[in-house]
A and B are shown apart, each in its own frame.
Chain A
């Protein structure tokens, strides 16, 4: 287990444009920490700085409280899994797993024991004598994992390890990696562009965009309380519906539609002329007779089995998506009356994208205790 601290870390290649700026975070021992963001946001650079593969322009990196900025990768006592697995094509699975262990002064016998253990754990025992090209994508992925595990390094870094796998296998490996991490008590820093991976695997996650931290927090906190428009639209699938709304005399209107009256506790909205209004797809409901609501026309329906995604035109320009659990048989073109509970709206500044309302949206988490 290992504690990783980043203090005001900045990275620049040309001295002008920051690839990463003022990254400040502490990753606790045994934590599964996910770095998530679109491609080019700097997440891989950050991981590679922790690994020692990239230099740190300014700031401090500490491992277990000791400054590690200038430590070479091999002295950081960590393992890394690469997106393309970085398996040595000319070596067998067994040789791939043990390659490099001699540097750590581990005897041949010990190497063999460890390798067998790890292969057993990851179900690789039947393939130990094969070369990487004779393995399937999932098996290669496991060899890469095995190579990280066998070093017994307390900190493991993973750079988009699942992005070369098909969707089904990815879901399976997500859970396997998570279980492995728990079992071995590893501190894990995991980079991905896939918000589902981040949501499902992380203890805590950091959302990065353009080299800046957008938000750090537990997945559900981030989901329920996105700090800004970027996080709101990046996390969640389908993403949060967003629309610009005009504030006028205790009323919000968007694209000509009446949306909601401004209740007393949200009087601060009156300070703005316009706000960005956000609503999660699962919070849009069919209106009951007695409820207020508005009419929309259905543009597309996707029935996924357990849930249904309904896309409808909202005003002239925008489309919203609603997610309802269960199966709905709706034809495109149908007019529906929908409603949204006011408490589910999120408000963002149109100027800087920051969340206006910092009071928490009531969480929908249901606790199950054994």
Chain B
């Protein structure tokens, strides 16, 4: 080796040593998160897929490998079909309504008016409400004898409705309560999105004499689309994961009409002790969320206007 080569080799050794130390430091900073993601997210995900292929004991210990049998059984069971239908309907009832309501409120609250802060606070209040507290309140509102809704119906001389006990109405009732619960968070994010829109856009529109309705359509909504997109995705994913309000308001009933997927998983795993079937449903839930997310992003990439 010549001198020059030797010097260069020693340089490279030093640089590699520094790179290595950077790598170690980086991993060290990330390690706590990686470790917990591994133990409480990636491992259980893999384990869920694994369990879904087994017949399990009541303790959830895999006993016999059954391949796709758990899935076939699910697709044939009316109970699962009902659950899938309830989940789909629940998503359909809650997501568009929540986003629309929150958008309307956000546009309404994005005015420069005296005391607007109070209204913003009122609109965002449900974000501070837990699922349990909200559900208890709505349970009372839906109460057949002393609840608000039946009181209003009675005042209008309409016979009362068994909101949470009638299979025809139960899912709708839970959905209404859920829309209310969703609004606070969605409103807060959308209001933030609205306030991020450059006010000079509106000023130049005003100078050009563009009407309010046209401003909303041509400026506000396009500029808000990334936020809308985010809120829709989050609300959608949350809808798939609904549990609390079902557990408190209907327990999946009546006649399994509100037995959405997460509640069904919970029941199978922790009440019926059928972990294999619960795992198979969890795998399907994962797949559904994944597909929805991917579709959302594919559409989002094309339609959403990013700054």
Are chains A and B touching in the complex at the 8 Å CB cutoff?
A: yes
| Interface residues, chain A, with chain B CB atoms under 8 Å away | 55, 67, 69-70, 72
Q: Which residues of chain B are within 8 angstroms of A72 by Cβ–Cβ distance?
A: 18
Select the stretch in B7-15, B111-119, B137-145, B251-259 that faces chain A: B7-15
Chain B contact residues, majority secondary structure: helix
Cα A70 to Cα B13 with chains together (Å): 9
A/B interface sample: 11 pairs, CB < 8 A: A55-B15, A67-B7, A67-B11, A69-B11, A70-B10, A70-B11, A70-B12, A70-B14, A70-B15, A70-B18, A72-B18
Instruction: Find the B residue at minimum CB distance from A72.
Output: B18
5 closest residue pairs by CB, A with B: A70-B14, A70-B11, A69-B11, A70-B15, A67-B7
Minimal beta-carbon separation of A274 from chain B (angstroms): 45
For A70, the chain B residues whose CB sits under 8 A away are: 10-12, 14-15, 18
Shortest beta-carbon distance, A187 to chain B, in Å?
A: 23
Bits for B186-228, please: 1 = Cβ < 8 Å to A, else 0: 0000000000000000000000000000000000000000000
B18 proximity list for chain A (CB < 8 A): 70, 72
Task: Give B1-43 interface residues, CB cut-off 8 Å to A.
Answer: 7, 10-12, 14-15, 18
> A173–B5 Cα gap in the complex (Å)?
45
CA distance A55 to B7 in the complex (A): 16
When distances are taken between beta carbons in the complex, the residues of chain A under 8 Å from B11 are 67, 69-70
CA distance A67 to B18 in the complex (A): 17
Residue in A67, A69, A70 with the greatest tally of chain B CB atoms within 10 Å: A70
Inter-chain CA distance A169–B11, complex, in Å, is 43
Which chain A residues border B12 with CB–CB below 8 Å? Answer: 70
> What are the residues of chain A within 8 A of B14 when measuring CB–CB?
70
Distance (whole angstroms) from the CB of A63 to the closest CB of chain B: 14
Give A58's nearest chain B residue, CB to CB.
B8
By a CB distance below 8 angstroms, the chain A residues around B10 are 70
Of B10, B11, B12, B14, most buried by chain A (CB within 10 Å of CB) is B11
A67 to B7, CA, bound (A): 9
Closest chain B residue, CB of each to CB of A67: B7
In the complex formed, the residue of B with least CB distance to A69 is B11
Interface 1/0 per residue, B102-113 and A, CB below 8 Å? 000000000000
The smallest beta-carbon distance between B89 and chain A, in angstroms, is 52
In the assembled complex, the Cα of A55 lies from the Cα of B10 at a distance in Å of: 15
Q: Name the residue on A nearest B12 (C-beta).
A: A70
Contacts beyond the supplied A69-B11, A70-B11, A70-B12: 8 A-B pairs with Cβ under 8 Å: A55-B15, A67-B7, A67-B11, A70-B10, A70-B14, A70-B15, A70-B18, A72-B18
Distance in angstroms from A109 CB to nearest chain B CB is 32
CA distance A67 to B8 in the complex (A): 10
Min CB gap B37→A, angstroms: 31
Q: Nearest CB to that of B15 among chain A residues? A: A70
Bound: A72/B11 CA distance, A: 11
A67: chain B residues within 8 A (beta carbon): 7, 11
With a cutoff of 8 Å between Cβ atoms, the chain B residues found around residue A69 in the complex are 11
Per the bound structure, the CA–CA distance linking A117 and B15 in Å amounts to: 38
Quote the shortest CB–CB distance from B1 to chain A (angstroms): 16
Chain A residues within 8 Å of B7, by CB: 67
Report how far A67 CA is from B15 CA in the complex, Å: 14
Within 8 A of A (CB), among B118-159: none
Residue of A nearest to B11 (CB): A70
Distance between Cα atoms of A69 and B15 in the complex (Å): 9
Smallest beta-carbon distance A7→chain B, Å: 11
B8, closest chain A residue (CB): A69
CB-CB nearest in chain B for A68: B11
Bound complex: CA of A362 vs CA of B160, how far in Å?
A: 108
Complex-state Cα separation, A70 to B14, whole angstroms:
6
| Interface set, chain B 220-261, CB cutoff 8 A to A | none
Give the distance to chain B from A49, nearest Cβ to Cβ, in Å.
Answer: 13
CB distance from A50 to the nearest CB of B (A): 16
Q: Could you tell me the distance in whole angstroms from the C-beta of B286 to the nearest C-beta in chain A?
A: 40
- Distance, CA A57 to CA B124, complexed state (A): 55
Contacts of B15 in A (CB 8 A): 55, 70
Report Cα–Cα, A70/B19, bound state, in Å: 11
How far apart are B18's CB and chain A's nearest CB, in angstroms? Answer: 7
Complex-state Cα separation, A137 to B247, whole angstroms: 61
Query: How far apart sit A72 and B12, CA to CA, in the bound complex (Å)?
Result: 13
Query: CA of A55 to CA of B12 in the docked complex: distance in angstroms?
Result: 11
Task: Looking at the assembled complex, report how far the CB atom of A6 sits from the nearest CB atom of chain B, in whole angstroms.
Answer: 15
